Structure 1
């Protein structure tokens, strides 16, 4: 995690900043700059302690603490090690025999709400015992469309078996307050979904040990209700950012007693999957990614079509899932062998 670089706060507005009590980066090189310039990461419109937008969000969210958000027990489906993601294409009909599938919000988002789970089931000919997880993970501009009471109600009334709270971004090296706001937004949305009757799962976001400890404290305060949490690792490309996330996950799992289950979105390579299993035991880790969709996208003009691309869509999907499951099994076996060796 990002360590302490100075005995004194690097952030010039730390003492007066409303987020001072929850910020873990004020003493590091990643502290908010005194002023946000157009050429700085995120540009001039990014959230910053001196911006009116930040103050508006701070008031709207009732501060950035987590203590004012409670959790509600929910009924969870039995999750496998790998949860395939499906799109909304009828070409998958008749090819889906798994017990649980995830669908990204962009596949079911409409102008006034989201497609009901019953419609998705009908489109894909899913059985009643096959579970659907709605992932509110996508580009920021799309997720902003969800930030309305009408959308919360639409998602709740759509009756997905599980809904994962939105993955509002925490980009670095943007000002840390943006990540703090988006972490609270995600948790507030989780609470709103629960209140509306959805089976919601919280999504966590951290950039520093202090963030990890805040999440751990919140879970420990709601231990009877929280059994599954979600983490979105899709955008952590660099080795240093990935390492920071793994350190945070290890710390969080230790602090919460190593009993939680995790739905982790993003990882696609065996080395990273093995690192995840070094941090969390296999039976508590459930991976999902969009890899099963990559080979199903329409070819661009002039792009060559390998043999895989001319097979029926459902067959290609089944092959993609089988490949991911095989790689995951190999990664788990390798991790266990290393632990015993």
Structure 2
């Protein structure tokens, strides 16, 4: 077993991705004296970091067994990469629509005046500064999310906790130091999609395992603070999906979220997203809601509707982005009409909603 800090039972990934000394390796040649949680079938053959011998690695964004501070990272995630100890309780808010437009947080009342939509989402970077790594004053000066956005109290507000890697990494670092979870809970969002941590194909397997656990841990932190929260699922291998399915069966969350904002190219969609989505559709409970972000192409939306039916919720920034240029989304594609922003926004939101089943989700 790989130990550190002189404390037995604490584990860390093996340096230089040496599977024979890794406590999570599940291969046939695994050493039973080392393995304590066989959750990984071995190294990532596409990894660009395996064998790295750079000793000055505390500034490296990659977590692997060769890092000189890997001990601190393992302590931070609870000394394990398993999911069994993570529980995310709660329920979805009542009357959640199947399409939720994501806005930038400015002029939302004006947008809603032409629409009266039941829910809006805002992204993490509209609330948590990518420059100062603190909550923006607008959100820190008191009031609920609905009040700050100048929406009716009956309108649902959703925090879409996704962002670029530097932003979500900064959020992880500051989450306890600055009481971020508690301060966001005070905003009384009706739903939070927990931040997710990336899994890239050229990263070491240890980074994948650590990031999958971090995504679930953050969701659990929000849920423990009393915020209705949905965890994001990222995966790299079939074994990852199987682990999620076992975890969901044992400790069902209120829903699962899948961030597809970075899946733009068809080869990535077809090689990673689609196989995983098909597998999930077959292997998670049939009534478990699925919240997807980042889709706008009608053919891809239709695929998700086919897979998940009326339990699907879609969140998209496209109506707001198109509206800024007076453009609308239609079945024929983008149309530049030079329309008023609120009118263009309303047209695109209604179009996106028309692609989805109409029942609302959530409690009674």
State the TM-score bracket (shorter-chain normalisation): 0.7 to 0.9
Q: Distance in 1 between matches of 2:167 and 2:47?
A: 28
In the alignment, structure 2 segments of 5+ residues that lack a partner are: 1-15, 26-36, 327-334, 359-364
Q: Distance in 2 between matches of 1:132 and 1:156?
A: 12
Distance 1:73 1:37, change over 3 A: same
In the alignment, structure 1 segments of 5+ residues that lack a partner are: 1-10, 300-305, 334-341
The alpha carbon displacement at 1:194 in A equals: 1.6
Q: Distance in 2 between matches of 1:256 and 1:318?
A: 34
The alpha carbon displacement at 1:276 in A equals: 1.8
Which residue of 1 is the match for residue 126 of structure 2? 107
The alpha carbon displacement at 1:132 in A equals: 0.6
| SS in structure 1 of the partner of residue 222 of structure 2 | helix
Matches within 5 A, 1:195-214: 195-214=224-243
**2:101 is equivalent to residue 79 of structure 1:** no
The alpha carbon displacement at 1:211 in A equals: 0.5
Q: TM (normalized to structure 1)?
A: 0.79
Q: CA RMSD in A?
A: 3.0
**2:288 is equivalent to residue 287 of structure 1:** no
The alpha carbon displacement at 1:33 in A equals: 5.5
Which residue of 2 is the match for residue 185 of structure 1? 214
**2:248 is equivalent to residue 219 of structure 1:** yes
Matches within 5 A, 1:10-49: 13-20=18-25, 21=37, 23-24=39-40, 26=42, 29-30=45-46, 34-36=50-52, 45-49=61-65
Q: Distance in 1 between matches of 2:287 and 2:295?
A: 22
Q: Paired residue for 1:138, among 133, 148, 163?
A: 163
CA contact (8 A) 1:96 1:126 kept: no
Q: TM (normalized to structure 2)?
A: 0.74
Q: Distance in 2 between matches of 1:230 and 1:143?
A: 16
| SS in structure 1 of the partner of residue 170 of structure 2 | helix
Which residue of 2 is the match for residue 51 of structure 1? 67
CA contact (8 A) 1:91 1:314 kept: no
CA contact (8 A) 2:117 2:155 kept: yes
Which residue of 2 is the match for residue 238 of structure 1? 265
The alpha carbon displacement at 1:143 in A equals: 1.5
Q: Paired residue for 1:247, among 268, 275, 289?
A: 275
The alignment covers a number of residue pairs equal to 306
CA contact (8 A) 1:105 1:136 kept: yes
After superposition, what is the alpha-carbon deviation per residue over 1:140-173, rounded to whole angstroms, capped at 9, x for unaligned? 1112232222111111111101111102211222
Q: Distance in 2 between matches of 1:45 and 1:75?
A: 34
The alpha carbon displacement at 1:187 in A equals: 0.8
The alpha carbon displacement at 1:191 in A equals: 1.2
Distance 1:146 1:27, change over 3 A: closer
After superposition, what is the alpha-carbon deviation per residue over 1:252-298, rounded to whole angstroms, capped at 9, x for unaligned? 33222322110001111122222223322x20111112112222447
CA contact (8 A) 1:37 1:44 kept: no
